[in-house]
Amino acid sequence: MAVDRVELMEHAVKLAQVAGEIHMRQFRSESLSEKAKLNDSDIVTAVDIASEKAIIEGIRQAYPDHSILSEESGETITGSEYEWVIDPLDGTTNYRAGLPVFSVSIGIKHRGETVVGVVFAPYLREMYVAVKGWGAFLNGTPIRVSRNTELSKAVVGTGFPVDKMSTTDNNIDNFSRLLPVVRDVRRIGSAAMDLCYVAAGVLDAFWELNLHEWDVCAGLLIATEAGAEYEYFRNDRNVSVVVGSPVMKNAILQLLSRQPG
């Protein structure tokens, strides 16, 4: 049965706010525990788990037949027309260190197409929302990508994969190639927020390799609804994507390596 997209968006916003409250209760707490997943660069905290649990319980109550793909729990229930793609705490390293850029990311797909995107940064009190075909908004105000067309004046974002310690295919080659030709490069630490900053014109473009669907599902919709374009520049490193206004996306894409580093 089809569900109204505005209803889905409103429910996703409420769940993001619930998760954000959980984040804020423990932010900069000395008692916050952590566990390593892949390595010391890839961690999970009790707040990741608690906020994920709250979001999933909220989805189950409202839409018990919908599929869910979440960073910590993986995929549950398959075969539904609707799938919720969740990163309950994007920017865990920032959060654990006490840096204020972290977010909740909730994307909703219908028959494989992302139709709702919600990214909430609770410390910053920034709620980014998009519904397919309706534009993108920050705290209720429409947002658009940067109008800058000059690479030398561009501020772009990137990140580095969690396996950077064990492989030379770690984005440093791309970083070295881009840094001399742009105004500067920023490593913000939350891919969902990077994408929203592209949507809002704060960043001119963003690229990263070896991301996952839960990192980008909501943010890519928000960015494209704000006028951005994106392209996958590698097909061998999970989600490896470049995002920006059409001019900036193409300019950055020409400089990125399409081969393993």
pLDDT for position 40: 47
What domains, with CATH codes, occur in the chain?
5-142 (3.30.540.10), 151-253 (3.40.190.80)
pLDDT along the chain (261 residues), means of 10: 90 98 93 61 78 96 94 74 96 94 98 97 98 98 98 97 86 96 98 98 97 97 98 94 97 91 62
Residue 227 makes CB contacts below 8 A (sequence gap 6+) with: 144, 145, 245
Q: Write the CB contacts of 207 (distance below 8 Å, at least 6 apart in sequence).
A: 156, 157, 158, 174, 178, 233, 241, 242, 243, 252, 256
- The neighbouring-strand residues paired with 229 are 244
How far is the CA of 179 from the CAs of 157, 162, 185, 219, in angstroms? 11, 21, 6, 24
pLDDT of 37: 52
What pTM, to 2 d.p., does this model score?
0.94
Residues 245/227, Cβ–Cβ less than 8 Å: yes
- Predicted confidence at residue 260, as pLDDT, reads 78
